[in-house]
Amino acid sequence: MIYRLLADSVLILHLLFIGFVIFGGLLALRSPWIVLAHIPAACWGAFIELTGGLCPLTVMEVGLRRIAGDAGYSTSFIEHYLLPVIYPAGLTRDIQFGLAGLVIFINVAIYGGLVYRLRSSRSK
């Protein structure tokens, strides 16, 4: 039971990390120190998508589920609603490239806006 709870916790952490990778730059608009954590996270997310690699959180979650005796994903609330978001059916390399491009585009736009805002506030 404990391993299943740990696996569910890793799944939630994974979802939060994915959200941070995609939208963490928005937090930098309010707290510039977030950039120190967000840029490496965004680079990691893009790297994993571009290379088709496995995130260590995925490996950890699957390992915990196997220790718990799960043959696959069962139908708990967390697994039912969060797994399709993190591991969508039909995920292909082309989709992964698109996702990586989306992560890069969103973050370049956010950081471009942040730099513009900082420059315009200094010139006033």
Q: Assess contact for 25 and 110: CB atoms under 8 A.
A: yes
What integer pLDDT is reported at residue 51 of this predicted model?
87
Residue 84: how many CA atoms within 13 Å on its side-chain side? 6
Which residue range forms the structural domain that includes residue 45?
2-122
106, pLDDT greater than 60: yes
Half-sphere exposure of 121 (CA within 13 A, CB side): 6
Judged on CB neighbours under 10 Å (0-12, 13-18, 19+), 81 is exposed
pLDDT at 101 over 60: yes
> Based on the structure, what is the number of domains in the chain?
1
pLDDT tens string 19-57: 999 889 889 888 888 999 999 999 998 898 888 888 888
| pLDDT of amino acid 65 | 85
The pLDDT, as a whole number, for residue 80 is: 57
Q: Mean of the per-residue pLDDT values for the chain?
A: 84
Taking CA atoms, 101 is separated from 27, 58, 76, 98, in Å, by 20, 21, 32, 5
Over 90: is that where the pLDDT of 87 sits?
A: no
Give yes or no for residue 97 having a pLDDT over 70: yes
**Arithmetic mean of pLDDT, 92-115:** 89
Mention every residue, 6+ apart, whose C-beta is less than 8 A from residue 50. 96, 97, 100
Burial (CB count <10 Å: 0-12, 13-18, 19+), residue 104:
middle
Per-residue confidence (pLDDT) for residue 123, from 0 to 100 = 79
- What is residue 2's predicted lDDT score, i.e. its pLDDT? 92
pLDDT of residue 77: 46
